[in-house]
Amino acid sequence: MNPKTKSRLGWTVVTVLVLGYSLFPVAAIFATSFKTPGDLGNQTFLPTSWTWQNYEMIFVGDAQGLFLSALRNSIGIALIATFIAVVLATLCAYAIARLDFPGKRIILGAALAVSIFPVISVVTPLFNLWRTIGLYDTWPGLIIPYLSLTLPISIWTLSAFFRQIPWDLEQAAQVDGATQWQAFRKAIVPLAAPGVFTTAILAFFIAWNDFVYGISLTSTEAARPVPAALAFFTGASQFEEPTGAISAAAIVVTIPVVVLVLLFQRRIVSGLTQGAVKG
Amino acid sequence: MASITLQNIVKEYDDGFPAVNDVSIDIEDGEFVILVGPSGCGKSTLLRMIVGLEDITSGDLLIGGDRVNDKPPRERNLAMVFQNYALYPHLSVFENIAFPMRLAKGKFTQEQVKEKVERAAGMLELTEHLQRKPANLSGGQRQRVAMGRAIVRDANAFLFDEPLSNLDAKLRGQMRAEISQLQRSLNTTSVYVTHDQTEAMTLGDRVAVLKKGVLQQIASPRELYEQPANLFVAGFIGSPSMNFLPGTVSEGSTGSTVLSTPLGDIELPEQVAAAGREKEIVLAGIRPEFFEEASQVEESRRGRGSVFSAELSHVEWLGNEQYGYVRYQNDPRVADALANLAADMDADELRTQLVVALDAMSRIRGGDTAELWVDTRRIHLFDPATGENLTRDAEAGAELTRLAAEDRRRDRERAAAHAD
């Protein structure tokens, strides 16, 4: 065996191991979501008979009210939080990458500090504050804390991205007759688009996956997102675990994530700046 | 098209460092002016102040007679070619060139844009590449796209920021010629920044030499070469560099005036000697081509120079000519001056060796002792303390620059006649 095929074989083994390790739980939940209630405890991986029963339950059955409203909340809140975070972070990161102003390092440092601050320590005071000012169990009541999660990472990734874009392009645009804003929009934004998309996806996932804020700052279907709602599923009787329904719901909420990655995979093309300057 | 006037321009950074210090230059309409100097001399900063990307700390900048200090770049109507071209990677070559016109909304119709871009592309041989993206172009083609973007605009002036420094040597020569011809045919005022003295000499109507933010001399290439204002200009302009030989002017044994150098006595003509007589020690600036092998010099010219013998350490044969090297012992009194000069020019320590241009046919080898003749009338004497050129003939220099201006006028008339 020559060294090349050997290394290729090695990489294949490693890849399969990693894929198996990370995808097995997903596969298990996927299989579970198609099991009948009687099948749940039988300790086999695949269901003995495939059924849509669990999906029916969350979309049209008993759990419908709980799940559909939660899905709506999740999509709405995550999208709004992502949108606000990306717009703010784009402007902020642009300023950080391009302008020299006092406090630049403080902004980056504070963003980092906020992102490593444990969520659980904020949640109790926030709970009290939100109840006092009437934000408890509302969409803004979740969007605002989600911004604290999504903004820092957006600012960091975007400012790293903006730094790669040659300054000269913008100056060239200005010399060519553009205002500062036009230079930003026509020369920088098209180049930054892949970075902005990447950031948006990251931010969306963070908001989409949050559980702690979701369960602590909501009490009804008015704002409760899916990860929190899953905990409120009930079985057919109090002695029955709603495992099947939870699995089905988990698969449903995974789908947007997978779709997003597949859709934007192409947009996350680096190397768009190639040729702007001699590399 | 417009003239550009710089009056006592100063650029001081926040830490008080003056990157450009009190520079005044008058650039005539249609003139091609080069800003040259080693890195960090402020030439790029000066250019960026003209275009408006850098604030002016004090002084006045006039374009076509209007003060533009406080105008943003887009209102100055200047076109700039950046060192790294700064092409928009997401736009095709066509759109890159059309970009300035697209920004001037409503000023150009679709047909006008198309026509102008195609004309520029034709001039720059880019016609078949118009639909490609910059990433797929070669360095020279990108360079031409950047120029295309500049020329479609009918700008007041072209500004070039080291446009050729990213190209390989062969292409650089070719692009240099193209830029020169383009500027002549369009007759647009141009300011060109470079650290390469060859580019400066070949392109410029006038060349401004800068050192540490201070203008040393602005003159035609010929004047810079023949009548440099000081040691720095003399050393910077010309390749290989001028030799600086330490020496003392004294009365020789035969009644003539000689310069006593580590290589022996060199007889000096009276007007050169007179300038250095007062000084304890001077640096004699002798360009390599002032030397010749004594045996090659015709009898009639022999009297205008002086002959000495020296041992060559090695020679370099280049085909069209060859360079001989002569080592000598430096005088400690000028060591500091030469070390400073080397630092100013961004060079390594100047070697204490003389570079001598010899005829390509000469069979002299390293180790031989050669009889060398030097044209003493062209020698300049410099004061090592101040760097000042003691033998500079300002009138002769001004005459050279005046002749260059006349040449330019002729070029322009020819270009105009050609265009009709």
If you average pLDDT over residues A220-225, what whole number do you get? 86
Q: Which residues of A touch B86 (CB under 8 A)?
A: 166, 168-169, 171-172, 276-277
Query: Is residue A73 in some structural domain?
Result: no
Q: Residues of chain A with pLDDT > 70: what percent? A: 91
Nearest-angstrom CA–CA distance, B139 and A279: 10
Domain that holds residue A250: 29-63+233-274
Q: Residues of chain B with pLDDT > 70: what percent? A: 98
Interface check for B175 against chain A (CB to CB < 8 A): the answer is: no
Q: Looking at the partner chain, which of B79, B139, B142 has a beta carbon nearest the beta carbon of A175?
A: B79
Nearest-angstrom CA–CA distance, B380 and B282: 10
Query: Is residue B348 in some structural domain?
Result: yes
Q: Which residues of A touch B153 (CB under 8 A)?
A: 176-177
Residues A122 and A58 in one domain: no
Residue A266: the pLDDT is 63
Residues B222 and B283 in one domain: no
Nearest to B194 by CA among B203, B186, B185, B184: B203
Q: Which residues of B touch A172 (CB under 8 A)?
A: 80, 82, 86, 88, 149
Residues A222 and A259 in one domain: no
Residues B102 and B63 in one domain: yes
How far, in Å, are A41, A76, A182 from residue A257 at the CA level? 29, 15, 34
Residues B318 and B189 in one domain: no
How far, in Å, are B83, B182, B190, B408 from residue B204 at the CA level? 18, 13, 9, 10
Cross-chain residue pair B82–A168, CB shorter than 8 Å = yes
Residue type at A68 in one-letter notation: L
Query: Does residue A273 register a pLDDT over 70?
Result: no
Query: Is residue B155 in some structural domain?
Result: yes
Q: Which residue has the higher pLDDT, A171 or B252?
A: A171
Cross-chain residue pair A177–B79, CB shorter than 8 Å = no
pLDDT in tens, A79-138: 999 999 999 999 899 888 888 888 888 988 998 888 888 888 888 899 999 999 988 989
If you average pLDDT over residues B79-95, what whole number do you get? 91
Residues A148 and A121 in one domain: yes
Provide the chain B residues 2-41 that lie in CB contact (below 8 A) with chain A. none
Residues B25 and B124 in one domain: yes
* Model pTM above 0.80: no
Provide the chain B residues 306-365 that lie in CB contact (below 8 A) with chain A. none
Query: Is residue A13 in some structural domain?
Result: no
Nearest to B96 by CA among B140, B130, B122: B130
Q: Looking at the partner chain, which of B90, B134, B166 has a beta carbon nearest the beta carbon of A191?
A: B90
Residue B411: the pLDDT is 82
Query: Does residue B169 register a pLDDT over 50?
Result: yes
Q: Which residues of B touch A274 (CB under 8 A)?
A: 89, 135
Q: Which of B168, B195, B226 is the last residue of a domain?
A: B226
Interface check for A261 against chain B (CB to CB < 8 A): the answer is: no
Residues A118 and A247 in one domain: no
**CATH number of the domain within which B43 lies:** 3.40.50.300
Q: Are B323 and B315 in contact (CB under 8 A)?
A: yes
Residues B204 and B265 in one domain: no
Interface check for A176 against chain B (CB to CB < 8 A): the answer is: yes
Residues A166 and A249 in one domain: no
Query: Is residue A19 in some structural domain?
Result: no
Query: Does residue A265 register a pLDDT over 80?
Result: no
Query: Does residue A270 register a pLDDT over 80?
Result: no
Residues B222 and B256 in one domain: no
Residues B44 and B158 in one domain: yes
Interface check for B51 against chain A (CB to CB < 8 A): the answer is: yes
Across chain A, mean pLDDT equals 84
Residues A107 and A173 in one domain: yes
Q: Which residue has the higher pLDDT, B8 or A231?
A: B8
Residue A277: the pLDDT is 41
Residues B211 and B321 in one domain: no
Query: Helix (H, G, I), strand (E, B), or coil: what is residue B242?
Result: coil
Query: Does residue A268 register a pLDDT over 70?
Result: no
With b for 16 or more beta-carbon neighbours within 10 A and e for fewer, the B212-245 pattern comes to bbbbbbbbbbbbbbbbbbbbbbbbbbbeebbbbb
Preceding peptide of B228 cis, ω within 30°? no
Q: Kind of pairing, strands B257-261 and B243-251? A: antiparallel
Query: Is residue B244 in some structural domain?
Result: yes
Query: Is residue B232 in some structural domain?
Result: no
Nearest-angstrom CA–CA distance, B221 and B215: 15
* Number of domains chain B is built from: 2
Q: Which residues of A touch B134 (CB under 8 A)?
A: 275-276
Domain that holds residue B354: 239-392
Residues B253 and B374 in one domain: yes
Q: Which of B226, B260, B293 is the last residue of a domain?
A: B226
Q: Looking at the partner chain, which of B80, B83, B136 has a beta carbon nearest the beta carbon of A175?
A: B80
If you average pLDDT over residues B215-219, what whole number do you get? 94
If you average pLDDT over residues B308-319, what whole number do you get? 90
If you average pLDDT over residues B27-44, what whole number do you get? 92
Sign, Cα dihedral of A154, A157, A160, A161: negative
Q: Which residues of A touch B88 (CB under 8 A)?
A: 169, 172-173, 186-187, 190, 276
Query: Is residue A18 in some structural domain?
Result: no
Query: Helix (H, G, I), strand (E, B), or coil: what is residue A33?
Result: helix
Cross-chain residue pair A175–B136, CB shorter than 8 Å = no
Residues A221 and A244 in one domain: no
Residues A222 and A247 in one domain: no
Query: Is residue A68 in some structural domain?
Result: no
Nearest to B48 by CA among A62, A167, A17: A167
Residues B179 and B303 in one domain: no
Residues B196 and B128 in one domain: yes
pLDDT in tens, A26-73: 898 898 888 887 777 777 888 888 888 888 888 887 777 788 888 899
Nearest-angstrom CA–CA distance, B96 and B103: 11
What interface predicted TM-score (ipTM) does this complex get? Answer: 0.81
Residue B335: the pLDDT is 86
Residue A159: the pLDDT is 87
Query: Helix (H, G, I), strand (E, B), or coil: what is residue B285?
Result: strand
Q: Residues of chain B with pLDDT > 90: what percent? A: 48
Query: Does residue A16 register a pLDDT over 90?
Result: yes
Query: Does residue A192 register a pLDDT over 70?
Result: yes
Q: Which residue has the higher pLDDT, B198 or B1?
A: B198
Cβ neighbour number for residue B384 with a 10 Å cutoff? 23
Residues A107 and A50 in one domain: no
* Number of domains chain A is built from: 2
Nearest-angstrom CA–CA distance, B208 and B219: 7
Cross-chain residue pair B74–A177, CB shorter than 8 Å = yes
Provide the chain B residues 75-104 that lie in CB contact (below 8 A) with chain A. 77-80, 82-90, 99-100, 103-104
Residue A269: the pLDDT is 47
Nearest-angstrom CA–CA distance, B393 and A71: 88
Q: How far is B202 from chain A (nearest CA, A)?
A: 25
Q: Which residues of B touch A187 (CB under 8 A)?
A: 88
Query: Helix (H, G, I), strand (E, B), or coil: what is residue A194?
Result: helix
Query: Does residue B86 register a pLDDT over 80?
Result: yes
Residues A188 and A224 in one domain: yes
Q: Which residues contact A248 (CB under 8 A, 6 or more apart)?
A: A33, A54, A55, A57, A58
Query: Is residue A11 in some structural domain?
Result: no
What is the CB-side half-sphere exposure of residue B294 using CA atoms within 13 A? 12
Q: Which of B165-169, B205-209, B410-414 has the highest mean pLDDT?
A: B205-209
Residues B329 and B379 in one domain: yes
Residues A89 and A195 in one domain: yes
Nearest-angstrom CA–CA distance, B157 and B111: 25
CB-based contacts of B176-179 (< 8 A; 24+ apart in sequence) = B176/B202, B176/B203, B178/B124, B178/B144, B179/B147, B179/B203
Residue B219: the pLDDT is 94
**A255-269, B271-285, B327-341: segment of lowest average pLDDT:** A255-269
**CATH number of the domain within which A189 lies:** 1.10.3720.10
pLDDT in tens, B321-376: 899 999 988 888 888 888 888 888 877 766 788 999 998 888 888 888 989 999 99
Residues A240 and A161 in one domain: no
Query: Does residue A239 register a pLDDT over 90?
Result: no
Provide the chain A residues 152-171 that lie in CB contact (below 8 A) with chain B. 166, 168-169, 171
Q: Which residue has the higher pLDDT, B108 or A17?
A: A17
